[in-house]
Amino acid sequence: MAAKAVVDGYGDNGIDAVHYDEADRLLYIVQSKWDGDGTGSVELGEAQKFVAGVRDLVHPRLERFNAKVQAKSSEINSALVKDRTKCILMVAYTGSQSLSTHVNTAVGDLLAELNDTSDAASFIPLSQKEFYAAMTAMGESIDLEVMIYEWAKVTEPFTG
């Protein structure tokens, strides 16, 4: 099911995955960032792109997104018109550093907009530390195989 949520690619407007859990009325909007050495965090520009993408998604201005997001338009619109749908904004990254004050401010400003009249949105930063803690809290050892596709592919300005 998680694979169907992935919308990552050119024109994703800073959003890498979207999933609507209809039973719980939760719209998950995710940005993921790879940090090669595992010591960094999310840069302000990346966070600002995500914030702008979330604004475009919830208004909805889906024409600003790639075909993968547009293919989910009925799911997204269904989520947005239902009462008590809550948006869970998540930034998942492989770095170990906390988010900077500037990144937290950008996301905080967005949350203030979205939560103007109700608690419509929340934010979950998920670094490698939090992800590992969540996985190990289940009490079982982790046996995970991960396949990363096109991690070194460069498509701009030319495909090569």
3-state secondary structure of 71: coil
Query: 157 pLDDT band (50/70/90 cuts)?
Result: low
CATH of 2-136, one of 3.40.91.30, 3.50.50.60, 3.30.450.40, 1.10.10.10: 3.40.91.30
Q: Which helix (H) or strand (E) holds 102?
A: helix 101-114
3-state secondary structure of 77: helix
Mean pLDDT of the chain: 89
Please choose, from the candidates 131, 115, 121, 16, the residue with its C-alpha nearest in 3D space to the C-alpha of residue 65.
16
As a whole-number percent, the residues of the chain with pLDDT over 90 amount to 67
Q: Are 51 and 13 in contact (CB under 8 A)?
A: no
**Tokens standing for residue 110:** 């967005």
Asked if pLDDT for residue 159 goes beyond 60, the answer is no
One-letter amino acid at 84 equals R
Give the separation between CA 43 and CA 70, rounded to whole angstroms.
Answer: 27
Query: 31 pLDDT band (50/70/90 cuts)?
Result: very high
Domain ranges within the chain, ordered by starting residue: 2-136
pLDDT, one tens digit per residue, over 48-107 is 999 999 999 999 999 999 999 999 999 999 999 988 899 999 999 988 899 999 999 999
Q: What is the CA radius of gyration of the chain?
A: 16
Specify the pTM: 0.84
Length of the chain: 160
* Sign (positive or negative) of CA dihedral 12, 14, 16, 18: negative
pLDDT (0 to 100) of residue 81: 92
pLDDT (0 to 100) of residue 14: 95
Mean pLDDT across 117-131: 91
**Tokens standing for residue 40:** 């960094």
> Does residue 25 come out as left (phi exceeding 0), alpha (psi in the -120 to 50 range) or beta?
left
Q: For Cα atoms 35, 87, 123, give the angle at the middle one, nearest 5 degrees.
A: 45
